[in-house]
Amino acid sequence: MTTTCARELCTKRRTGFAADRQCALHRPGPGHPERPERLESALAGLRAQPWFDELVTVAITPADRETLETVHSPRHVNRAREACESEAAYLDVPDVGVCADSFEAARLAAGAGLALAEKIIAGEIDNGFALVRPPGHHAEREMALGFCLFNNVAILARVLRSRHGLEKIAILDWDVHYGNGTAHAFERDPSVLYLSLHQYPHYPGTGAASETGEGPGLGATVNCPLPAGSGNEDYERAFRERVLPAMDRFAPDAVLLSAGFDAHRADPLGDIRLSTEFYGWMTERALEVADRHAEGRLISLLEGGYDLAALADSVGTHVATLSGVEPAK
């Protein structure tokens, strides 16, 4: 396996960075793994990097109702707002704990990718990373699920097509859990290629290789389920044999990453054995696809990752690779 930036010269890129401390105000309850400290640890790790000040800071505007409803029903948006305003303990299922600040945090998380997209389309940055929470890829049209209120990456894909005129979007999801909400959002849509590498069987129970989309979207879902104990070599094989050929055949106009870091060997919520450095390798491969087909357009959104040290290290490696600099050892 090629080490991140081990080639003779890394390509320097203008990387946008979107984060908002209000996302840390979302508190799903005592002992919940999707805790505010996730953002604090990852941000502290990034700030300690010698290249942090070279990132292009991008301000986030919360996603408005119209934007949320590109993926979610008006009923779901209303229920999310009402649950948070009434300080309900959770929305829909107990693992989606909420508080009074959760609705605004979720709107910011959904708006982060949109802010990065504006800068990329304007030519002000080459790619971008959104350090936000709550995550999004489990959220369904009518239901919050798996720590997720709104599906951030699905909303971004819809907006890139409807407002920015991009015809084909590839979503690469390497979170340890299958992104059921994203898969369902686009299962009948041939303009969005959804590719997922995930532990299987594992939460949420879907994501078999036989799930390939429906109707006009048949073949536009590529699932790479991997058994517990899989590691770098298994993921590299899946990339080379299935993920990269599918992305090259599709030739996307933009690459989106559902960047979960809970397939790390230290993470408590999964049993995959990826190293910190391998996140750099996967990032490089995604960048190469974006360079070949999408004029470098790539946007990465944080999903999972629940060991604080592993999350901080993996995010640092990921963002360094996006920027074309060597990660700090």
**Residue-wise pLDDT tens digits, 261-310:** 999 999 999 999 999 999 999 999 999 999 999 999 999 999 999 999 99
Alpha-carbon span 283 to 211, nearest angstrom: 25
CATH of 15-323, one of 3.80.30.10, 3.40.50.2000, 3.40.50.2300, 3.40.800.20: 3.40.800.20
- Given this model, what pLDDT does residue 245 score? 98
Residue 327 has a pLDDT of: 78
Q: How many CB atoms lie within 10 A of CB 316?
A: 22
The residues with which 16 forms a beta bridge, in sequence order, are 56, 128
- Give the model's confidence band at 21: pLDDT under 50 very low, under 70 low, under 90 confident, else very high: very high
Burial of residue 61, with CB atoms counted within 10 A of its CB: 0-12 exposed, 13-18 middle, 19 or more buried: middle
Q: How confident is the model at residue 226, as a pLDDT?
A: 98
**Count of helix runs (H) and strand runs (E) in the chain:** 10, 8
The answer to whether residue 8 scores a pLDDT higher than 60 is no
Residue 167 has pLDDT above 70, yes or no: yes
Q: Report the pLDDT value the prediction gives residue 326, as an integer from 0 to 100.
A: 85
pLDDT of residue 5: 52
> Strand, coil or helix: what is 128?
strand
Pair 106, 149: CB distance under 8 Å = yes
**Coil, strand or helix at 256:** strand
Whole-number pLDDT of residue 296: 98
Q: What is the distance between the alpha carbons of residues 110 and 246, in angstroms, rounded to a whole number?
A: 27
Rounded to whole angstroms, how far apart are CA atoms 173 and 146?
15
What mean pLDDT do residues 14-27 have?
Answer: 98
Give me the chain's average pLDDT, please. 96
Of residues 198, 251, 241, the one with CA closest to residue 220: 251
Q: Please, how many CA atoms are within 13 Å of residue 53, restricted to the half-sphere of its CB? A: 1
pLDDT digits (tens, 9 = 90+) for 39-54: 999 999 999 999 999 9
Q: Which residues of 104-135 are buried (b: 16+ CB within 10 A; e: fewer)?
A: bbbbbbbbbbbbbbbbbbeeebbbbbbbbbbb
Q: Give the pLDDT band of residue 10 (cuts 50, 70, 90).
A: low
User: What residues act catalytically?
Assistant: 138
List, for residues 214-253, the tens digit of each pLDDT value: 999 999 999 999 999 999 999 999 999 999 999 999 999 9
The model carries a pTM of 0.97
145 has a pLDDT exceeding 70 = yes
Structure confidence at residue 24 as a pLDDT band (50, 70, 90): very high
Residue 2 has pLDDT above 50, yes or no: no
